[in-house]
Amino acid sequence: MCEKLLTNSIHLAAKSGNEYGWYLSDLEQVRNEAIFNGLACLGGQVQFCGKWGTAEAYWLSSDPSPQKSDESIDGYVKRSWDDFMKDVFSIQTNQYTDAAKSFKCLEGVACDWDIEAIWIIYFSNTAAEQGDSERAPLR
């Protein structure tokens, strides 16, 4: 879904299996484009990817709460991203390094882990799921 709707930021993504992830420096652009296209953020977690493989630091994550019954689609989309970004940027840089150090495959790899960490993000095209044809680019 995201490759069809995030046309301006998909080229910045690191593909990990069937998932897409972005570096911290790109998250604001992804957020803005997703909100513009009506994509809510279901959450995400950190991965370190390289020639040594993929290491999932699933404990460095964000899980915005679901849409509330009285919340508009636009309100939910924006709130889900606000919650996600708040969680992401509350993580201290040393937490990325500590997470990377916990993986045997990363022992001895010299890297600035807070720069190399990617955030795998999960999206919801809430408008399409709720039948809003004006905001449902996937229909």
* Averaged confidence pLDDT in the chain: 85
Instruction: Give the per-residue pLDDT at 132.
Output: 46
* Mean pLDDT (whole number) for 117-131: 77
Q: What is the pLDDT confidence band of residue 130, given thresholds at 50, 70 and 90?
A: low
pLDDT digits (tens, 9 = 90+) for 4-63: 678 889 889 988 888 899 999 999 999 999 999 999 999 999 998 887 788 899 999 999
> Number of folded domains in the chain?
1
Full residue range of the structural domain in which residue 80 is found? 2-135
CATH code of 35's domain: 3.30.190
pLDDT digits (tens, 9 = 90+) for 82-95: 999 999 999 988 89
Residue showing tokens 């600035």: 112
CA atoms within 13 A on the CB side of 15: 6
Residue showing tokens 């969680």: 87
**Pick from 17, 35, 13, 45: which is nearest to 26 by CA?**
13
